[in-house]
Amino acid sequence: MATWSSEAVALVDEHMESYWYNNDLAPLRRYLAANPGVVDAPFPHVDSPSGESGEPLLAYLVGNHGRYWAEGSPHWFEAFAIVKVLLEAGADPNARMSDGQLCLAHENCYLSNRLTFLLVEAGANANAMTDQGPLIAAALRYTGIDLDPAGEVGLLRMLLQKGAPLKWTFDSRTCFLDEELGPWASTRGGVAGVAFQELVVCVRKAGSWAAYCVAAHKDFLRFRSSLVRGRARTTNRIVEGLAHLPDGAVGKVLAYWLS
């Protein structure tokens, strides 16, 4: 099994201790490129100097809340930067910590929406169970400090796209996503909160994200047909341009939009 060299461990420690004065991660990138198997290998750290905990570096960074992810921590930027480098090098986004918990299910993820977004985008399980229920429920209860409301909507939308549940059971109670949105939307308000509430209602009505996408595509194609025949009008130049593209091009756009 690949192991971290003492020099590579020193690179990580130096970066974490330097705050914003040393953002050069090129040496770490070169080390990971030259040693591809090490990215998911147990990482030696202060609590496990021989790496016996079995935690890869990604899991260690996510789980070390007090030092790295606490609000106002000067280590936040450095930890996030290393997580990005690890994922770029092929780190498993579903890495587990020493207690067997998925990184994505750890409270530090749903306390940091940007971290959750990064891991899910890299392929982490969007249905990870947390001590608050499914991940999307935890994200609603504990909106992170590092994304604005529009960014939070983007995260929640991504979780839906990746298969987050519309209904779940938690603490002997049946929960529905659109009902759970109330407290979150009231603190967010504005167009973003309303738009996401409407989206969730539509997805629940359709039965799934995939069914919602199909219905939305069909609605657009019907409108497009009326538009090109002069039976409908729009002031939206993007919609107008899309409507007059060849069928094949429209299909590709729709496959990307709401996919």
10-residue mean pLDDT profile of the chain (259 residues): values are: 83 67 75 91 75 80 65 66 90 88 78 80 86 79 57 78 85 83 66 72 82 83 88 86 86 72
Domain ranges of the chain: 6-209, 210-259
User: How would you label 95-119 residue by residue, b for 16+ Cβ within 10 Å and e otherwise?
Assistant: bbbeeebbbbbbbbbbbbbbbbbbb
Architecture, CATH, for domain 6-209: Alpha Horseshoe (1.25)
- Return the pLDDT at 195: 72
Q: What is the pLDDT at residue 20?
A: 47
Question: What residues contact residue 230 under an 8 Å CB cut-off, 6+ apart?
Answer: none
Q: Using CB atoms within 10 Å of the CB of residue 183, give its burial: 0 to 12 exposed, 13 to 18 middle, 19+ buried.
A: exposed
**Vertex 183, ends 146 and 122: CA angle to 5°?**
40
Q: Quick one: which of 217, 208, 220, 180 has its CA closest to 196?
A: 180
CB 20 within 8 A of CB 33: no
Separation CA 238–CA 221 (nearest Å): 15
Q: Are 42 and 52 in contact (CB under 8 A)?
A: yes
Output the pLDDT for position 244. 86
Tokens of 29: 């990138």
pLDDT at 47: 65
pLDDT at residue 34 in the model: 92
**How much is the pLDDT for 94?**
92
Task: With both helix axes pointing from N to C terminus, report the angle between 177-188 and 190-206 in degrees, rounded to the nearest 10.
Answer: 170
